[in-house]
Amino acid sequence: MRTENSATAPSPIAVSSSADPAAPATPTVRGTLQAGLGVAAFSLTFPATVWGLEGFGPWSLVAVRSVLAALIAGGCLLALRVPLPARRDWAALAVVAAGVVLGFPLLTTLALQSSTTAHAAVVVGLLPLTTALFSALRVGTRPSRTFWLAALAGAAAVVAFTVQQSGGALTTADLYLFAALLVCAAGYTEGGRLARTMPGWQVIGWALVLCLPLGLPAAAVALAHEPVHWTWHGVTGLVWVAAGSQFLGLVVWYRGMAAIGIPKASQLQLAQPLLTLVWSVLLLGEHLTVAAPLTAVAVLVCIAVTQRARG
């Protein structure tokens, strides 16, 4: 297995040439662009999921997207003759698979059956902060008091928003979304750590392949028990969440995290909830309440403070 990636190991020549306007983009610039593309892909996930639910049941949508993404990833791994990961990496890949490939898609799809994409986008706006928290715990660092205060403020803003939107109590959809935050943050953290020594596309590729033995029978059972309607929206949504969100988006996202680090990459993810709010209006025709963009901006400010507090 390759243990070095050009996006994670900049050479002295590449760094020194950054002063030349005609020089190629430095690894930091490339990493920022890659992470930004990942955020753009992720921002379309919720609208695409809502489209997919027009043609497929929730369990069918999640299982089939996992299988399609695994086939794409497996084909790439086979075509390039990528060797198996080292034995020490399989546990971390299992965390990525459980959190990013299975947990987050399933939990958010179940939530979007009764929640609007705007509501879900605001709640999941806490993901960068949750990822930063998991990252701090994983590497053993001790965040400052400012970090914790900003983190609690962001969490309080989201809880207040969800309670207000749900009529005074958390709904089942909200519980699904909060659980999705936890499992996805764990997957992002382990994936970002692995992407420092393994190309980012291989991280998500092997995680997807790892889920294939479970995805195939799950897809067969789900399709047999849930009705399928072959609509343009349904097929388009399925293709996007499988190829765009589940594979290509995560490929560039993990490469970006490896190049610029998890904290800096999570700063770029601040734009994701606001982008999803825009897509929810343009693609789904949803009407935003004033609370949605205001809460998204409040969370953005809180996460920016946590990133600054972590240096």
With cut-offs at 50, 70 and 90, classify the pLDDT of residue 23: very low
pLDDT at residue 142 greater than cutoff 80: no
- pTM: predicted TM-score of the whole model, two decimal places: 0.78
Taking CB atoms within 8 Å and a gap of at least 24, the contacts of 152-160 are 153/302, 154/126, 154/129, 154/298, 154/299, 154/302, 154/303, 154/306, 155/126, 155/129, 157/295, 157/298, 157/299, 157/302, 158/122, 158/123, 158/125, 158/126, 158/295, 158/299, 160/295
pLDDT tens figures, 279-306: 999 999 888 888 888 888 887 787 777 7
Segment 146-153 mean pLDDT: 79
Residue 82 DSSP symbol: P
| Total Cβ atoms within 10 A of residue 178 | 20
Q: How far apart are CA 181 and CA 175, in angstroms?
A: 10
The percentage of residues in the chain with a pLDDT greater than 90, rounded to a whole number, is 41
pLDDT score, position 307: 64
Q: How far apart are CA 41 and CA 129, in angstroms?
A: 19
